Amino acid sequence: MNQAQPILQLNNVSVTYKRADRTKITAVSGVDLTLNRGEILGLVGESGCGKSTLGKAAVGILPTSAGEITFNGKAVAPLNSSVRSRELLKLQLIFQDPYSSLNPRRKIGDQLIDGLLNSGVNAEEARESSAKLLERVGLSRTTLTKYTHQFSGGQRQRIAIARALTLQPEVIIADEPISALDASAQAQVANLLVELVQELGMSMIFISHDLSVVRQISDRTAVMYLGKMVEVANTLEIWDDPRHPYTKALIKAIPRPDGKGSMPLELPGDVPDPRLPPSGCRFHPRCPVAIAECSVMEPKMAPAADRWSSCLLNNELRKVGS
Amino acid sequence: MTLLEVRDLSVQLQTKTGFATAVDRLSFTVNEGEILGIAGESGSGKTMTALTLLGLLPQHAKVSGSAKFNGQELIGLSSKEWQKFRGAQIAMVFQDPMTSLHPMLSIKAQMTEHMVTHLGISQQQALVDAEELLADVRIPDPKKALNSYAGQFSGGMRQRICIAMALACKPKLLLADEPSTALDVTVQAGILTLLNRLRKEHQLSIIFITHDLGVLSSITNKLLVLYAGREAESGSTSTILQLPRHPYTQGLLDSLPQPDSNEKLLKSIAGFPPELGKQPIGCAFAERCKFAAATCSGDELLPTYLADSHKFICAVDPFAGLSINQVRP
Amino acid sequence: MRKNPDSPIRQPLAVIGVTILTIWILIAIFAPLIAPSNPIAQNYGQLLPPNSHNWFGTDSVGRDVLSRVIYGARITLPLSMMLVILAMLVGTVIGAIAGYFGGWIDAALMRFTDVVLAFPGIILAMAVAAALGAELRNAVFAVVLVAWPTYARLVRGLILSSKNADYVTSSRLLGASTTRALFVDLRPNISGPVFVLAALEAGNGMLLLSGLSFLGLGARPPSAEWGAMVSAGANNFDKWWLAVFPGLAILTAVLAFNFLGDALRDILDPRTAKALRE
């Protein structure tokens, strides 16, 4: 790939929402992230780290409380009562659960042509291009006249992908698209997404808690912890040389099917309550190498060209080194 | 010593078109202090096998074959007789720790109730034991935990509490159905470590059911790979994961992300598993198998037995005679 | 409605309900052919008990009760259906607006609904019917006024539970407008339960309407409305046939609607339907 061209940019984005009990939760706080054209960016972290919230904010489903999100240089407007602008239709989301992202009471064909009808394509053409998309994702065109309950999880996720592709998006945000699926369906759907991204020249943010899948399919990887971005780097670099202790812990916790009985390493403790984030570095209470300063000083992520990690120790080390 | 011996276990479920075979003539054994892994996708019959061993199958299911627990036949027990085994000798941990604990009852109430009824001990004794159990599964501050409610714990902590509850009556066999699938990897690692320690310390036998071969690799001694209700391959975990002989096992391993691959794509198995009741005669995997030949379908296939109780059922055996590096380069 | 080859209407109750309703509808359509005499003609002796000539006897002015019950179907059935449709439309629109837009619109509409629901139905209907004048048309209006809040509540609940569903959001991401999301994505989720409620409520509406007529707030004397006939029978309670036959007509029609409603719920409620199929 030559010069990286940003297509989706998140600058200092925070997302705060009220829970049912009226307490405020800042699920994402001050995150910077750039998705380049043609790139697959993996976004990983434990549940509750804000990665799904960030994905939903990026397409405008959730309003941001601070910062700005731009898609192709234009601000992403939140999804309120008005109709999405034509430009924004090129920014689509694939949901985690294909059981809830398709309407069980409408024919699949009717759901697939929705987007095309909204943009003024006639029904005949819309059906034809939907049928072609279904064939592209590995289903027959007779799927058009069926209902979702006739399909397995993996097949439904293919349908959901086809639906998101009807308007020929430039950016796809896939929110845990394979984690609700069976073992063999996981690999099939992940592959399908990668192939489609390459074939159609799209860019994708692939949100997952499964670091090993992200390692395989993504060009760059971003790691989140408790609403903050802790490390962003090229996938292979992050895998070979993780700089943040949290990234290291995540990688060590992955069980490997090598048949050698090696135990994955546990990261003790739980993700803290996001209403009361720890002071300083948010990871310090669970960090195996934390020092006194970690609880006081908040590490800044210097937006270096390609490699970020927000760990005081790294910055210290670098200072010492230079 | 053999704790559980299952022979030719079949389970048929009632569907709208008649009975469909969900589990097809499975045989396996579990020794004391051993962890057997059952690997398979949804519909492979792995959960049905577990439910059979707990006497919790749907009412109209037909069961045949034998399952001997400590020499005692389990198949055909009345629901009253089952109560002696379920919970007391054979316990279960479920996938979703969010729903397997009662949200409105304190942990104390949930734990002590069945200890008092099953073990016939006093409430005070049960409380003392419960606290010990919670400490054993590494719940910080067990006293406080006893008076708390499920909602006050994270997913990982809840799963630990579920495990403590399952261990309350000192069962000899623990059935764990995807106990770590709903958890984050960091937390999953803790649960695996815990189960492994319990196995060693209490000579506990565990049947660990999951589709995640990585998890199975880390804690099981033996593996049973199921496909569409039938055994595909079984044997020691290290042999199967390093030198699989069944193309399905191989396909599952290949479809996992490879830590040293520079390929963008995963090697997925094409196609979908057959629907319940529509398994073909012969090899159920044949239609998705890249090595399939004419011998794969039509007739019953015979298993091949190798050294070290390694067994697989494949008419083609495409990986015969290959070494580790040739099979999994 | 989705056709489901696996679950033909095989529950006996549904078959009974549909059969009874079909019979009543046929009776209503072919009343002039079936009825032995003119329902308002005073052709016979007064208060004759059932006999070979007047199977259901005659009333206090010598009209054939059988003919009046048959002609009564022409008044009661269409009116009941009309009031159900009206109440359904009003309730659904109000409930959908409240549920989808939320906020103060929801609060205002739902408080109004609560106020209507706070009155005992028959009393509110009586008050409205009395205020507007004792006429069948006004009675229908009064019943609609009492019946719509049930639909509004149901629809609001349904919309609230599914308006934030992923499939609605995903439609919005694909450029659907608010109205489109409401009409295209949410309509199928609402229509099933609303039809079930309508079938169940049809019986209630009919009872309420007959009740108003019974109380003299609905049909005027010569017209053969079932409720009014029961009322006339109550004035001669020793002549049992006057009240029993129109009463039975009301009973069978209301029961048939309820059976149909139950059966519809079984078919349209996916969870119950799934349990049946497995």
Find the CATH number of the domain harbouring C258: 1.10.3720.10
Least trusted range by pLDDT, from A161-170, A305-314, B165-174, B266-275: A305-314
**Number of domains composing chain C:** 1
Give the closest of A103, A160, A164 to C185, CB-based: A103
The predicted pLDDT at position C195 comes to 86
Interface check for A272 against chain B (CB to CB < 8 A): the answer is no
The pLDDT assigned to A302 comes to 61
CA distance B171 to chain A (A): 25
C113 belongs to a structural domain: yes
> How confident is the prediction for chain A on average, in pLDDT?
88
Under 8 Å CB pairs connecting chains B and C tally to 4
ipTM surpasses cut 0.95: no
The C-alpha of B14 sits at a distance from chain C's nearest C-alpha, in angstroms, of 8
Q: How far apart are CA C39 and CA C221, in angstroms?
A: 12
Taking the CB of residue C250, how many other CB atoms lie within 10 A of it? 23
Contact A282, A272 (CB under 8 A): yes
Contact between A92 and C171 using a beta-carbon 8 Å cutoff: no
Q: What is the span of the domain harbouring residue B210?
A: 2-106+167-327
**Per-residue confidence (pLDDT) for residue C4, from 0 to 100:** 45
In this model, does residue C277 exceed pLDDT 50? no
Q: What is the pLDDT of residue B225?
A: 96
What CATH number did the domain enclosing B246 receive?
3.40.50.300
Residues 129-158 of B with CB under 8 A from C: none
Q: Which residues of B touch C6 (CB under 8 A)?
A: 16
Range of the domain at C198: 12-19+64-270
What is the C-alpha separation between B63 and B14, in angstroms, rounded? 12
pLDDT at A2: 53
Residue C51 counted as domain residue: no
Mean pLDDT of C247-258: 91
Is B217 in contact with A152 (Cβ distance < 8 A)? no
Q: Is the pLDDT at C5 greater than 70, yes or no? A: no
Closest residue of C to B15, CA-based? Answer: C278
* B80 at C interface, C-beta within 8 A: no
| Nearest alpha carbon to residue B94 among B213, B37, B175 | B175
Q: For testing the chain A interface, which of C97, C159, C166, C191 should be mutated: the one with the most A CBs within 10 Å?
A: C166
Taking an 8 Å cut-off on Cβ atoms, the answer to whether C174 and A102 are in contact is no
Q: Using one digit for the tens of pLDDT, what is the confidence trace for A265-304?
A: 988 887 888 888 898 899 999 998 888 888 888 887 665 5
How confident is the model at residue B228, as a pLDDT?
A: 92
Q: Which two tokens stand for residue A227?
A: 């609403």
Determine, for residues B264 and A187 on separate chains, whether the beta-carbon distance falls below 8 Å.
Answer: no
Instruction: Assess whether pLDDT exceeds 50 at residue C135.
Output: yes
Listed in sequence order, the residues at least 6 apart from C92 whose beta carbon sits closer than 8 Å to its beta carbon are C151, C152, C155, C190, C194
Asked if the model's pLDDT at residue A321 lies above 50, the reply is no
In a domain, residue B249? The reply is yes
Q: Are B253 and B328 in contact (CB under 8 A)?
A: yes
A neighbour chains, 3+ CB pairs within 8 Å: B, C
pLDDT band of C126, cuts 50, 70, 90: confident
Count how many pairs of residues, chain A against chain C, have C-beta atoms within 8 Å: 70
- B6 found inside a domain: yes
Give the minimum alpha-carbon distance from C200 to chain A in angstroms, rounded to a whole number: 22
Residue B327 pLDDT more than 60? no
Pairwise CA distance, residues C200 & C262, whole Å: 7
Write out residues 249-268 of A within 8 Å (CB-CB) of C: none
φ, ψ at A169 (rounded to 5°): -70, 155
Domain-embedded: residue C68:
yes
Nearest Cα to Cα of residue A203 among A169, A251, A236: A169
Pick the CATH number of A6-105+167-271 from 1.10.287.110, 3.40.50.300, 3.30.70.2190, 3.30.70.660: 3.40.50.300
Q: Is B16 on the interface with C (CB under 8 A)?
A: yes
Determine whether the interchain pair B213/A195 forms a contact, defined as Cβ–Cβ distance below 8 Å. no
What part of C 3-62 touches B (C-beta under 8 Å)? 6
Higher-confidence position of B199 and B300: B199
Residue A213's closest CA among B186, B263, B44, B219? Answer: B263
For chain C, which chains pass the contact test of at least 3 CB pairs under 8 Å?
A, B
pLDDT at B42: 82
Residue C84 confidence (pLDDT):
92
The answer to the question of residue B288 being in a domain is yes
Highest mean pLDDT among A127-136, A297-306, C191-200: A127-136
Q: How far is B61 from chain C (nearest CA, A)?
A: 12
pLDDT at res. A304: 56
User: Could you report the per-residue pLDDT of C206-251, keeping only the tens digit for each?
Assistant: 888 888 888 888 777 777 788 888 888 878 778 888 888 989 999 9
Q: How far apart are the first and last CA of chain C?
A: 21
How many Å apart are CA B278 and CA A229, to the nearest integer? 48
- C48 is written with which tokens? 């004759």
| Angstroms from C147 CA to nearest CA on chain A | 27
| CB contacts, 8 Å: B15 with chain C | 278
A190 touches chain B (CB under 8 A): yes
Total number of residues shown for chain B: 329
Report the number of distinct structural domains present in chain B. Answer: 1
How large a percentage of chain C has pLDDT more than 70?
92
Q: What's residue C275's pLDDT? A: 46
Q: How high is the pLDDT of residue A320? A: 43
CB within 8 Å: B266 and A154: no
Where does the pLDDT of residue C10 fall: very low under 50, low under 70, confident under 90, or very high at 90 and above?
low
User: Is A140's Cβ below 8 Å from some Cβ in B?
Assistant: no
- Classify burial at C80, counting beta carbons within 10 Å of its beta carbon; exposed 0-12, middle 13-18, buried 19 or more: buried
Residue C1 has pLDDT above 60, yes or no: no
Residue C11 CB: number of other CB atoms within 10 A? 16
What is the arithmetic mean of pLDDT over B82-99? 85
pLDDT at A261 over 70: yes
Chain C: nearest CA to A84, how far in angstroms? 5
Q: pLDDT per residue over A188-213, tens digit each?
A: 999 999 999 999 999 999 999 888 89
**pLDDT for res C8:** 46
> Which residues of chain B neighbour C276 with C-beta distances below 8 Å?
none
Nearest to A232 by CA among A93, A2, A54, A15: A54
Between helix C187-214 and helix C121-132 the angle, nearest 10°, is 70
Give the closest-approach CA distance of C184 to chain A in angstroms: 9
- C175–A103 C-beta distance less than 8 A: no
Which comes out higher in pLDDT, residue A74 or C222?
A: A74
Q: Which of residues 141-170 of C touch A (CB under 8 A)?
A: 165-167, 169-170
Q: Which two tokens stand for residue A287?
A: 């960090």
Give pLDDT, residue B98: 77
Beta carbons of C189 and A147 less than 8 Å apart: no
For residues B150 and B136, what is the distance between their CA atoms, to the nearest angstrom?
18
Length of chain A: 322
Please tell me if residue A100 touches chain C, with a CB cutoff of 8 Å: yes
Q: What sign for the dihedral angle of Cα B157, B162, B165, B166?
A: negative
Distance of alpha carbon B8 from alpha carbon B10, whole angstroms: 6
B261/A216 CB distance under 8 A: yes
- pTM score of the predicted model: 0.83
